[in-house]
Amino acid sequence: MVKLLPRLRRFAAGLARDRVDGDDLVQLTVERALTSRAQWQEGTRLDSWMYRIMRNIWIDEGRSRTRRAQTFIGEEAGLAIGRDGGQEAVAELGTIGRAMQQLPDEQREAVMLVLVEGYKYAEAADIVGCPVGTLTSRLGRGREALMAMLGEAA
């Protein structure tokens, strides 16, 4: 499980669109995995199991945030601060990160799992809980949207 932490953090940051919220998501995932370890079946992929746990937690958290947002002003309203300049590569990663944040959740998940994490389509579809064709469609739409956004940024 410890070896999975960097990958889990990367995926969580992509889902949450924020590294700090992503770290919280990883912590919740590890806690749930440890308390539910009897449900993991020996011989199955631990990483896929943990990604599913993370995704389910993220969905639950999203629903909870939606309910809270109806009552409170979002935290991001007070965070409109500029960022320090940096090297060209850092700027490009920032542009890609902002483009990823604009994708719908389903497309961002597909892009993160297949293009960033390197999962095969069938494995990613299993993690997300949809047919391979659906995942392929989400990935294609996400890739096209990213290309369009990044083309506009150039």
pLDDT digits 0-9 by tens, 76-132: 554 444 444 455 544 555 677 788 888 998 999 999 899 888 899 999 999 999 999
Residue type, 142: G
Rounded distance, CA 134 to CA 117, Å? 18
Task: Output the six-digit token pair for 109.
Answer: 């998940």
> What are the sequence ranges of the domains in the chain?
1-81, 86-154
pLDDT of residue 115: 86
- 3-13 pLDDT per residue, tens: 989 999 998 88
Q: What is the DSSP letter of 41?
A: P
pTM: 0.50
Fold adopted by 86-154:
Arc Repressor Mutant, subunit A (1.10.10)
Residue 137 exposed, middle or buried by CB count within 10 Å (0-12, 13-18, 19+) = middle
pLDDT of residue 134: 93
Stronger pLDDT, 133 or 77, i.e. the higher one: 133
Fold adopted by 1-81:
Rna Polymerase Sigma Factor; Chain: A (1.10.1740)
Length of the chain: 154
